[in-house]
DNA sequence: CGATATCTGTCGATTAATCTACAAATTATC
DNA sequence: GATAATTTGTAGATTAATCGACAGATATCG
């Protein structure tokens, strides 16, 4: 596990930040590599050192957020629903620009799909169909139910400009998810 | 006039920003090169590529702001006193962290001296001792009078946390300077 | 439609930044 | 005052980023 050269991290950070910013301003299709490198203040060729094209860049960007959330979940899965949700909603708040951009209609529809896929996967592991309470229920369906509900909530919260603080969202959604599971 | 490699600009920007930040938190003497490079997120050796030591770094930092103000003055000297002052006070506001740090008692006393020196020089060029109004007055003394007054005002304004907007400061100080000259 | 401009992806040469290691100098601590 | 710990400034090897140029692909516009 040799550590990565800080130049790589700095370049990638600048590039990713530039893409998110630009995507919040205009459609992904209309963004050029030229623009990204200008905004990131790196040479155009530098982008090609890290990504094959702008689609690869978007994919890697999305996957990075998904992975971050997965790692958060590994750490957080011992907490109760409320506290676990708090970690998530604070994360959404911290990365508001990314989520508002990616979940916006014009943004990257691929992210919503990927996000939901991730959530279903994680929730599925959380439910126990062997409990008597859940007798006759299907793991897949429960995961999907919770996942779509959660995505919907996050979309609503973000698109409305975060009308409630993360604490409130965490409590409310925590109660509801607990009833379902 | 070949343009400078952007890596140089980025490194120097990061280093200068780091020094200003650190100087706003602790005394210059207690700051190490190590800390600066950590804060700037550059390797320690990179600092030595641009500066011989931290004193050289501070000198160059100060001189850069002085030069920037000199260039501003070249551009602004055609305007009336009020408008010229506005450009300056907006500059101070924009660079609040630098000026509040450098003009603070514990900051860099060398900057106040250098700043005053610069102002006297510029004001001296502004006064006309051949006017009948100024008959018998000394150029040097007038420049010094205006320079110290201006430094004092800026110190007061910055140390009080900019209690009035740049527009107000520009008008007020403009009127006063106009009376003097 | 053709002409013009812009963008793309890639290349090779060059430069700046990085990393590690080192001895010397300085500072802190007992 | 001796010892330990930190900081300093430098050096050499390596790597990433830069620059400029290129031909080919894609828009843009008259």
Which of residues 84-123 of B have CB within 7 Å of strand C? none
Numbered ranges of CATH 1.10.357.10 in chain B: 64-178
User: What pLDDT score was predicted for residue B2?
Assistant: 58
Q: What is the CATH number of domain A1-51?
A: 1.10.10.60
> Per-residue confidence at B118, pLDDT binned at 50, 70, 90?
very high
Distance between B14 CA and the closest CA of chain A, angstroms: 12
CB A102 within 8 A of CB A111: yes
Tell me which architecture the domain covering A64-178 has in CATH: Orthogonal Bundle (1.10)
pLDDT along chain A (181 residues), means of 10: 86 97 93 96 97 95 96 92 96 97 77 94 88 86 94 95 96 93 82
B7: CB within 7 A of chain C nucleic strand = yes
Q: What is the pLDDT of residues B133-149, one digit of tens each?
A: 888 888 889 999 999 99
User: What pLDDT score was predicted for residue A148?
Assistant: 94
User: What pLDDT score was predicted for residue A134?
Assistant: 84
CA B140/CA B48 separation, integer angstroms: 40
Distance between A7 CA and the closest CA of chain B, angstroms: 9
> Of B10, B42, B43, which is closest to A41 when you measure between CB atoms?
B10
User: What pLDDT score was predicted for residue A129?
Assistant: 83
CA→C1' distance for A46 and C9 (Å): 12
B34: CB within 7 A of chain D nucleic strand = yes
Tokens of A176: 């509801």
Tokens of A53: 């094209």
Residues 32-61 of A with CB under 8 A from B: 41-43
Size of interface A-B (CB pairs under 8 A): 8
CB A142 within 8 A of CB A123: yes
Percent of chain B at pLDDT > 70 equals 97
Numbered ranges of CATH 1.10.10.60 in chain B: 1-51
Q: What is the pLDDT of residues B25-61, one digit of tens each?
A: 999 999 999 999 999 999 999 999 999 999 999 999 9
Asked if the model's pLDDT at residue B1 lies above 50, the reply is no
Per-residue pLDDT averaged across B103-112, rounded? 77
Query: Taking the model in full, what pTM does it have?
Result: 0.87
CB A55 within 8 A of CB A28: no
Tokens of B133: 């109004």
User: What pLDDT score was predicted for residue B107?
Assistant: 63
DSSP-derived secondary structure letter, A152: H
Q: What is the largest CA-CA distance in chain B?
A: 61
Please give the full DSSP string across chain A, using - where no structure is assigned: -PPPPHHHHHHHHHHHHHHHHHHHHS-GGG--HHHHHHHHTS-HHHHHHH-SSHHHHHHHHHHHHHHHHHHHHHHHTTS-HHHHHHHHHHHHHHTHHHHHHHHSTTS-HHHHHHHHHHHHHHHHHH--TTSGGGTT--HHHHHHHHHHHHHHHHHHHHHTT--S-HHHHHHHHHHHHHHH-
User: Is some CB atom of chain B closer than 8 A to the CB atom of A6?
Assistant: yes
């Amino acid at each position: 596990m040799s550590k990565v050269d800080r130049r790589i991290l700095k370049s990638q950070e600048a590039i990713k930040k530039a893409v998110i910013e630009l995507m919040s301003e205009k459609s992904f299709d209309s963004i050029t590599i030229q623009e990204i490198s200008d905004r990131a203040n790196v040479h155009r060729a530098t982008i090609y050192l890290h990504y094959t094209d702008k689609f690869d860049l978007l994919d890697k960007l999305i996957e990075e957020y998904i992975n971050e959330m997965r790692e958060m979940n590994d750490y957080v899965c011992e907490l109760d629903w409320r506290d676990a949700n708090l970690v998530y909603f604070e994360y959404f708040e911290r990365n508001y620009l990314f989520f508002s951009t990616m979940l916006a209609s014009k943004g990257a529809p691929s992210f919503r799909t990927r996000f939901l896929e991730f959530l279903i996967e994680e929730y599925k592991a959380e439910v126990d169909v062997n409990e008597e309470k859940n007798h006759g229920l299907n793991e897949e369906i429960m995961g999907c139910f919770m996942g779509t509900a959660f995505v919907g909530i996050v979309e609503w919260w973000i698109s409305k400009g975060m009308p409630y603080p993360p604490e409130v969202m965490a409590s409310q959604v925590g109660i509801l998810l607990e009833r379902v599971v």
